[in-house]
Structure 1
Amino acid sequence: MRCAVPWGYLPAELFCKLPQSRACSSVRCSGKEVFVCIGLHEGDSTWRRSYSLWPWGTCEKLVPTDAVFDPGEWIRLTRNLYNWTEEYGSFKPSSWEAVANEEMWQARMKTAFFIFGLAETASVPAEMKSQLYTLAYTLYKEIVSSHPHHPVNWHKNYAIACERMLRLHRVGEDPEVLLSETVKHFLLYTQKAEDDPQRQDILQAVNHLQKELQGLRGMKAELKRQAG
């Protein structure tokens, strides 16, 4: 049985004021799964002591902090939940419909963003970190390639995911492709997000990556020449 809390936040009786509170017990023992849409009340963060939010389509699932997260299984469970069909940018920018449409489009990347965030955690073991980065990269790539017209920040997120994959040196991933994708999507982002305060830093990074790409291509050409 599921209990959805749409377009708002969980009511106070479901907040975990204390780890052993009656509210916590009611959520754990009621047999209901609790889902949150558009986030929890920002004024009370005590629920974080006992619960985490895991992405679930356009919403999130409230999960006990001691639950074990299996990224591959979570991707399988949530892959087909998203069913928003409205085209991106189809409403006037100042309208409430545009705001809602933006929220729904951003939700497409919730799982990839969540998994990437876990990979960035310093305490994650190296093997798990590699697995998380790979899963996040695969999701980002799939989403970006499936939707040519999408929110501008997707370019930035995907570029960062490509760069992380590049540094993993995983067998089966072409460094030239990863470098090319990183440069391409960082540049697309800076062209469309001129007000980003990190824009100059990103462009400096792109300059370095372009030199790295040029060097890699030169090395490949030299090896090919020697082999031929």
Structure 2
Amino acid sequence: MSVAPVDFSLAMPVFIQGLVLSLGLIVAIGAQNAFVLRQGLRREHVGSIVLFCALADALLITAGVMGMARALGESPGLARALALAGAVFLTLYGWRALQRARHASRLTASEDGAGLTRGAALAQAAAFTLLNPHVYLDTVLLVGSIGAQQPAGMQPWFIAGASAASLGWFTSLGFGARWLAPWFARPRAWQVLDALIGLTMWVLAALLLRHVLRIPG
């Protein structure tokens, strides 16, 4: 059975959209990132923690895109509503990021405290990842609904881009902790990053709104 060649001129923009969207959502000051940074500073079970966090995100993103795709397949009205809701969410998320950029903040993780066994470290990673309701809003609902708007042949590229962002971020955070920690501790760096995230989210919201206008009523 022959396999149709991939049109990279169409696939790469979809891959990049998934990458940028996921990266914008995951790069934030929070308990999960602080935990990964802490483990990286301690050089303790880093590979296991990074792999768990990245795989969890990839599975949730895939479930979101595929589940939403099935739900939207026979309902253009639902597709329009979710795309519009996603655009509103991205606009508000971008606004919040720009507001954060006005105030100094930083991400720090202490190397103090007792060491963790691999099981205990993975349990904490699971708690920070799966018990956070925002992870389902971000990966399953928001990323899932936006990814489901892509043509069926492009959805795997969107999933790959979004998953690559998660893997790249956690890998950098965990294995580069000792080099990145001073940067994360500088409030000015986070202000610049939040400003870029805010503007990026607004661009994605505008693209999603344009997509809404093309969905048949």
Assess same fold via TM > 0.5: no
Bigger helix share: 2
Q: Which of structures 1 and 2 has the larger relative contact order (alpha carbons within 8 angstroms, sep 6+)?
A: 2
Larger Rg: 1
TM-score, normalised to structure 1's length? Answer: 0.25
- TM score, norm. by length of structure 2: 0.26
Higher strand share: 1
